[in-house]
Amino acid sequence: MSNISDKEKPFIEYDQSQGILFPNHLSDWIPANHLVRVVNHMIDQIDISPIISLYKPGGRPAYHPRMMLKVLIYSYCEKIYSSRKIEKALHENINFMWLSGFQKPDFRSINHFRRKIGVRLKKIFFKVIGYLLKKKHIRFENYFLDGTKIEANANKYTFVWRKATSKFKERLLKKIYDLFSEIENINREEGLKNNLKSGMKETLSTREKLSEVKKVIDESLEKNPDKELKKISKKIGDNYLPRLEKYEEYEEICGSRNSFSKTDPDATFMRMKEDHMRNGQLKAAYNVQIGTENQFILNYDIHQKPTDTTTLIPHLEGLKECEIKPENVIADAGYGSQENYEYLEKEKIEAYVKYNTFRIEDTKKFKKDPFRKENFAFDQEKNEYECPKGRRLKYSHTKKKKSENGYETTLDIYECESCEGCELKNACTKSEGNRCIQVNSRLDELKSQARLKLKSEKGIKLRKKRCIEPESVFGHIKSNRKFNRFMLRGLDKVTLEWGLLSIAHNMRKLWVIQLFVSVYILENLLVIKKGV
């Protein structure tokens, strides 16, 4: 062991008791090209009147909303999502201290502000988009639309399924009907019988009517107590009525969805993409939709249904708030529906949107499959199709079909004259009767238009670029930013949380571009200096 003292070793001396006679300005300790300066400058430039209007005069003065917004967005830029950790950073992190002007709001104030701005954050987001448009970082020329599923802040095993709820409710209603048949068989005064028979039996499917019937029985028991009726009243009050209330509440929460979570009722159980599982795993989640250009997020919204088909129209309608619409929309096959194609056509937006069979149409398997309706020969004069066996499929009738959004499509039904005795029937159809095909002429026309656009030179370039636009944004947020699960619960709060993430992502993207430009200028200056 060396006997050399610390003073004799070659170290720089330090003294923790020393002070600074003339304190430096805090901003002098922050690099000129730091991310915190980008956030500070951006929020100073935009109009935050939508948030300021939320505050009412009177009472104790609040922290300035511009300062609070800067702190909140910068914390999301730095992967700090917890209000307690933000409070800690305001006491310890020099960047947060400078941004807040040495003010130190506690976690309650931060949470209160975050909740308060929830309804107006989308307006602030579009103010940032306006700034990016002004600086020409985006042009709304090519709008790349995509979605991903992000896990909700809910327990795994809190499933409530609509079908199971309906089944249990039907069983309960059957027991209720049987119970009241038993009541009618009890020899009681005519008043009770008349009340039970006055139309209540046909409307027992609601908890209000069941409560009314229990009230009738209880009134009868007050006049003439009876053991059997008392048991029935107890069974209704302790068992049947609470269960019926629960099932009807579940159906109301579900709405048009197939499921929800008891922990977060706004979340729906969705099939998540998991590398270690072949088919993914069912988890309570939200469907996040974003539109991007140059990897900036131009718009965002949150949906409760797992499919992407019904999300395109409400997503693009949300853009009308910023009074601008894209020239071209590029999306994958999940968005290719007649409703979406016609909406884009109506809005005069070029649609580079795939449909479900676009990827396989050029494959040999598709072209050589004789049983696909697309490969059936069509006689336009007779309005008939011909199957591989040479038998005719004649027009049968037209039917209407409605989507989940209530959009109506028209389908022409063609039925084979006779499949009896055909050796190819088992390979052609699983139906016991004749082979039928459904033809949507309007959708086929729209698919043909989409195919021409997608296979054009411009369409091929946009399709290639789509893979590196929204996909890379989702990858950055979920993998690099480690945001795989929402922290807040409820659709409104989750939308707020993703809005803050989207603004933070755009800030970081702008910062990276500015860093690249400054490095490029510096390198060129060095080259010029060497040349001189």
Report if residue 509 sits inside a domain.
no
Domain count, the chain: 3
Report if residue 191 sits inside a domain.
yes
Report if residue 354 sits inside a domain.
no
* pLDDT over threshold 90, residue 352: yes
Same domain, 110 and 191: no
- What confidence score (pLDDT) does residue 199 get? 43
Domain boundary among 230, 261, 292: 261
Tell me the two tokens of residue 439.
């033809």
Helix (H) or strand (E) holding 164: helix 162-185
State mean pLDDT over 181-206: 54
Q: How confident is the model at residue 271 (pLDDT cuts 50, 70, 90)?
A: confident
* pLDDT over threshold 80, residue 14: no
The residues with which 450 forms a beta bridge, in sequence order, are none
What residues make up the domain containing 187?
A: 160-261
Domain boundary among 117, 150, 174: 117
Tell me: the pLDDT tens digits for 35-79?
999 999 999 999 999 999 988 888 888 899 999 999 999 999 999
Calculate the alpha carbon distances from 323 to 129, 130, 135, 140, 317 in Å.
11, 10, 18, 12, 10
**Pairwise pLDDT comparison (212 vs 442), residue with the higher score:** 442
Question: In angstroms, rounded to a whole number, what is the distance separating the alpha carbons of residues 98 and 453?
Answer: 52
Report if residue 423 sits inside a domain.
yes
- What confidence score (pLDDT) does residue 347 get? 92
Of 4-18, 277-291, 320-334, 463-477, minimum mean pLDDT range: 4-18
- Of 325-339, 411-425, 428-442, give the range with the top mean pLDDT: 325-339
Report if residue 180 sits inside a domain.
yes
Of 62-71, 110-119, 499-508, 516-525, minimum mean pLDDT range: 516-525
Counting residues of the chain whose pLDDT is more than 90, the rounded percentage is: 49
Residue 111 contacts residue 130 (beta carbons within 8 Å): no
State mean pLDDT over 435-451: 91
3-state helix, strand, coil in the chain (%, to 5): 50, 15, 35
Counting residues of the chain whose pLDDT is more than 70, the rounded percentage is: 86
- What confidence score (pLDDT) does residue 276 get? 46
Same domain, 170 and 257: yes
Report if residue 395 sits inside a domain.
yes
With tokens 């199709």, the residue in question is 385
Residue 317 contacts residue 301 (beta carbons within 8 Å): no
- What confidence score (pLDDT) does residue 420 get? 85
Tell me the two tokens of residue 89.
């950073």
Give every CB contact of residue 482 below 8 A, 6+ residues apart in sequence: 79
Tell me the two tokens of residue 295.
């990897």
Q: How confident is the model at residue 190 (pLDDT cuts 50, 70, 90)?
A: very low
Report if residue 447 sits inside a domain.
no
Report if residue 17 sits inside a domain.
no
Measuring CA to CA, which residue among 345, 284, 285, 283 is closest to residue 312?
345
Sign (positive or negative) of CA dihedral 55, 57, 62, 64: positive
- What confidence score (pLDDT) does residue 76 get? 94
Same domain, 105 and 166: no
Domain boundary among 199, 229, 261: 261
Judged by DSSP in three states, 272 sits in strand
Same domain, 94 and 177: no
- What confidence score (pLDDT) does residue 379 get? 87
